[in-house]
């Protein structure tokens, strides 16, 4: 398949190009597009056939449901059959933006989207290109992250091109995603609201409007075998670069000392480091983040892909900033490291 790659400036959207992209979606094709979190791989959420092609293109297991993207809250009844008052509050407070709400599914959404569940994940993105694509296509857009299954989510068009060129109809290059990790997922379909995936909207922010909100206990743990996870995507290998990743977690200073020791012990390998700040390391490839988890989230997936490009064998990722945003970063870091965590 010949994949069209179309550059669109999010600050000055080319209406005609967007109409073409919207038509690909409404005709049943696949278009990758930027959102404020990561790039998505979109298809008409009302079409079982189109949605089935998402799973093929990604190599995604069919029991892992997709998020349905709409342009505004008045479209929720098209995709969900029930919206509790508390869920309305969440949409009012944080949408459009990096949050996904699990609701009871409408009968119009095919089982292929929700992997047979009675619930549907609903998100109203804030990225102008994502919003325009939904409007132009005239349908809700089912879209997972636009990576090959198991790989880090794409935050730049070049990541999508690497994973998806030749496998889908079109890729919209709309520049870098600003958040860098996927949306927060909150399940509002049960008795109590539960955060299933931490992301751009924090637990503290949600707690302010939903005092009884809980965090799913699987979030910082790997899924134990034979347990049915709430969020089907949680049980799969995730964000895994070719390199073996270790998280070096603890107080700044101690983490630096440990990383130096690890580099020495692995002198026969090509070593990569994610360093918070500008400490010197004697490694092949050192990538840096500012002293901020917002910056860490923004860069992490890009860095994991960069290590693969540089044929790095082993990565030591420093983690030392504990704040409200830490959960979102740690959740991805731990998964990319397959829970190889060294606490110092």
The CA-to-CA distance between both ends of the chain, in Å, stands at: 49
- Give the count of beta carbons closer than 10 Å to the beta carbon of residue 24: 22
Which residue, 157, 200, 192, 202, is CA-closest to 175?
A: 157
Q: Which residues contact 291 (CB under 8 A, 6 or more apart)?
A: 276, 277, 321
Q: Please identify the residue of the shown chain whose CB is closest to the bound Mg ion.
A: 145
Residue 25 CB, shortest distance to ligand TXA, in Å, is 14
Which residues from 223-242 bind Mg ion, rule CB under 5 A? none
Which residue, 221, 255, 217, is CA-closest to 342?
A: 255
Q: Helices 293-309 and 326-336 meet at what angle, rounded to 10?
A: 20
Total binding residues toward Mg ion, as defined by CB under 5 A: 1
Residue 37 CB, shortest distance to Mg ion, in Å, is 10
- CA–CA separation, 31 and 174 (whole Å): 13
Q: Please identify the residue of the shown chain whose CB is closest to the bound ligand TXA.
A: 233
66 contact choice in Mg ion, ligand TXA, none (CB below 5 to 8 Å, kind-dependent)? ligand TXA
Residues binding ligand TXA (CB under 6 A):
35, 37-38, 40, 64-67, 100, 102, 114, 117, 119-121, 123, 143-145, 182-183, 185, 196, 231-233
Nearer CB in complex with Mg ion: 20/64: 64
| Alpha-helical regions (H) of the chain | 15-26, 48-58, 76-79, 85-94, 111-114, 128-137, 157-164, 203-209, 254-265, 293-309, 326-336
- Choice from 53, 71, 100, 145 touching Mg ion (CB under 5 A): 145
38 contact choice in Mg ion, ligand TXA, none (CB below 5 to 8 Å, kind-dependent)? ligand TXA
100 contact choice in Mg ion, ligand TXA, none (CB below 5 to 8 Å, kind-dependent)? ligand TXA
Binding piece for Mg ion, criterion CB under 5 A, among 122-130, 141-149, 292-300, 332-340: 141-149
> Could you tell me if residue 289 is left (phi over 0), alpha (psi between -120 and 50 degrees) or otherwise beta?
beta
Residue 262 CB, shortest distance to ligand TXA, in Å, is 31
Nearer CB in complex with ligand TXA: 130/263: 130
Residues that bind Mg ion (CB under 5 A): 145
């Amino acid at each position: 398949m010949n994949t069209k790659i179309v550059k669109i400036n999010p600050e000055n959207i080319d209406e005609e190009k967007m109409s073409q992209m919207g038509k690909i979606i409404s005709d049943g094709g696949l278009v990758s597009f930027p959102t404020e979190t990561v790039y998505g791989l979109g298809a008409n959420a009302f079409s079982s056939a189109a949605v089935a092609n998402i799973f093929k293109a990604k190599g995604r297991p069919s029991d892992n449901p997709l998020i349905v993207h709409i342009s505004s809250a008045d479209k929720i009844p098209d995709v969900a059959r029930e919206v509790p008052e508390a869920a309305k509050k969440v949409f009012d407070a944080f949408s459009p933006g990096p949050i996904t709400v699990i609701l009871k599914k409408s009968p119009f959404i095919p089982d292929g989207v929700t992997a047979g569940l009675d619930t549907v994940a609903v998100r109203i993105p804030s990225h102008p290109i994502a919003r325009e694509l939904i409007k132009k296509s005239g349908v809700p857009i089912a879209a997972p992250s636009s990576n090959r299954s198991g790989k880090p989510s794409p935050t730049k068009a070049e990541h999508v091109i690497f994973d998806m060129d030749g496998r889908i109809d079109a890729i919209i290059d709309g520049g870098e995603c600003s958040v860098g990790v996927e949306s927060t997922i909150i399940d509002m379909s049960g008795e109590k609201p539960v955060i299933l995936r931490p992301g751009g909207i924090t637990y503290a922010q949600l707690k302010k409007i939903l005092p009884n909100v809980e965090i799913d206990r699987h979030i910082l743990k790997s899924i134990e075998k034979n347990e049915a996870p709430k969020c089907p995507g949680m049980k799969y290998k995730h964000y895994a670069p070719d390199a073996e990743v270790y998280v070096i977690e603890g107080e700044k200073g101690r983490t630096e000392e440990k990383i130096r020791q690890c580099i020495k012990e692995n002198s026969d390998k090509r070593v990569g480091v994610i360093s918070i700040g500008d400490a010197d390391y004697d490694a092949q490839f050192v990538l840096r983040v500012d002293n901020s988890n917002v910056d860490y989230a923004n860069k992490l997936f890009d860095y994991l892909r960069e290590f693969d490009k540089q044929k790095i064998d082993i990565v030591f990722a420093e983690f030392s900033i504990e704040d409200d945003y830490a959960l979102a970063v740690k959740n991805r870091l731990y998964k990319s490291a397959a829970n190889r965590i060294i606490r110092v």
